[in-house]
């Protein structure tokens, strides 16, 4: 269980501090998918990066992020490196340049296996093939370099990488942006299937409410750094409190109406 309570994050800028997250509290349980929905700039990605303690140096963070009874914000770097990826893994934005361009996909997965699990040589290669298969890629992709892969393939490679250490939680930061609609659907269904099969927990950060409602158990809506709505998917769809959520849902209904015609 990851429990975020009263989290404040502010970035230092030349003129004044900019508060990106204000008093956010959020819980992600194992075996569930929580979605964090908001427009760009609403602070949702900042919140996600705070969980891995990966905010740029100089950022001010207040509050608590309790994982396994410990506050992630207080854990020293060396111990953090054991929580990162082994317990909590990250699936980056599809648009991000998140694979090292000069290393093959296989090299990058094996590096993780070797450092975190001590698996090397042939077993590592077998495990790599297995991971790629799980995320829907042929094992030949292991020998490929990032520039040889399509956007969807890169994202699947990122998923394979995230699964390398069988983490307890997956943090997915807009995993489908910059992908075409069909690939988006495939990636999301692969992800939710993996989460349901393995019983891990996932935090899905997205600006896409329909996507969130289709997979998530709980939804949190953020706007301008504030959490404006929180609840189970059904609750939110049926009885939204905040104006912003209502607008989002109204837009969703229009779209669905359009689709049914």
Cα separation values, 55 from 11, 20, 45, 49, Å: 9, 12, 10, 6
- In this chain, which of 29, 66, 73, 103 binds another protein, going by CB under 8 A? 103
Taking residues 16 to 55 in sequence order and writing x for each that binds another protein by CB under 8 A, - otherwise, the string is ------------------------------------x-x-
Q: Is 92 in the site for another protein (CB under 8 A)?
A: yes
Among residues 43 and 85, whose Cβ is nearest to another protein?
A: 85
Give the tokens for residue 207. Answer: 């600006």
Q: Which CB atom, from 76 or from 258, has the smaller least distance to another protein?
A: 76
The nearest distance, CB 148 to another protein, in angstroms, is 8
Q: Per CB under 8 A, does 131 bind another protein?
A: no
- Per-residue contact flags (x/-) with another protein for residues 161 to 200, judged by CB under 8 A: x---------------------------------------
Looking at the DSSP bridge assignments, the partners of residue 36 are 205, 220
Q: CA dihedral defined by 194, 197, 203, 205, rounded to 10 degrees?
A: 40
User: 107 to each of 65, 82, 94, 124, how far by Cα in Å?
Assistant: 32, 20, 20, 10
Based on the shown chain and the rule CB under 8 A, indicate whether residue 111 belongs to the binding site for another protein: yes
Name the residue among 232, 234, 229 with its Cα closest to residue 247.
Answer: 229
Asked whether the beta carbons of 172 and 91 are under 8 A apart, the reply is yes
Block residue for tokens 């015609």: 261
**Residue 12 is a binding residue for another protein (CB under 8 A):** no
Among 2, 21, 72, 90, binds another protein (CB under 8 A): 90
Choose between 114 and 239: whose C-beta lies nearer to another protein: 114
Burial letters for 165-204: b for 16+ Cβ neighbours within 10 Å, e otherwise? Answer: bebbbbbbbbbbbebeeebbebbbebbbebbeeeebbbbb
- Segment near another protein (CB under 8 A); pick from 60-68, 140-148, 175-183, 188-196: 140-148
If binding is defined by CB under 8 A, does position 96 make contact with another protein? yes
Stretch that binds another protein, among 121-129, 142-150, 192-200, 219-227 (CB under 8 A): 142-150
Which one of 6, 18, 81, 140 is in contact with another protein (CB under 8 A)?
81
Question: Interface with another protein includes 82 (CB under 8 A)?
Answer: yes
Alpha helices for the chain (secondary structure H): 44-51, 77-83, 105-112, 121-134, 151-162, 181-198, 209-215, 233-238, 243-260
Can you count the helices (H) and strands (E) in the chain? 9, 10
Q: Is 110 in the site for another protein (CB under 8 A)?
A: no
Residues in contact with another protein by the rule CB under 8 A: 52, 54, 80-86, 89-90, 92, 96-104, 111-112, 115-116, 145, 147-148, 161
């Amino acid at each position: 269980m990851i429990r975020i309570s009263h989290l404040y994050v502010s970035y230092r800028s030349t003129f004044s501090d900019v508060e990106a997250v204000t008093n956010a509290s959020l819980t992600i349980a194992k075996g569930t998918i929580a979605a964090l929905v908001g427009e760009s700039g609403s602070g949702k990605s900042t919140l996600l990066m705070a969980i891995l303690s990966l905010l740029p140096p100089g950022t001010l963070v207040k509050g608590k992020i309790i994982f396994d009874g410990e506050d992630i914000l207080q854990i020293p770097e060396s111990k953090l490196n054991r929580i990162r990826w082994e317990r909590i893994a990250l699936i980056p934005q599809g648009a991000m340049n998140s694979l090292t361009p000069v290393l093959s996909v296989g090299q990058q997965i094996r590096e993780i296996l070797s450092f975190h699990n001590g698996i090397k040589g042939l077993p590592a290669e077998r495990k790599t093939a297995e991971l790629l298969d799980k995320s829907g890629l042929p094992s030949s992709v292991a020998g490929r370099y990032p520039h040889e892969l399509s956007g969807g393939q890169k994202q699947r490679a990122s998923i394979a990488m995230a699964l390398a250490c069988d983490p307890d939680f997956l943090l997915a930061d807009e995993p489908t942006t910059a992908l075409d609609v069909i690939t988006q659907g495939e990636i999301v269904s692969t992800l939710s299937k993996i989460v349901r099969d393995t019983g891990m927990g996932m935090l899905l950060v997205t600006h896409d409410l329909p996507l969130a409602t289709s997979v998530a158990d709980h939804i949190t809506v953020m706007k301008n750094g504030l959490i404006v709505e929180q609840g189970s998917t059904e609750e939110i769809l049926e009885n939204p409190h905040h104006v912003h959520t209502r607008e989002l849902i109204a837009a969703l209904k229009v779209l669905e109406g359009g689709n049914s015609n």
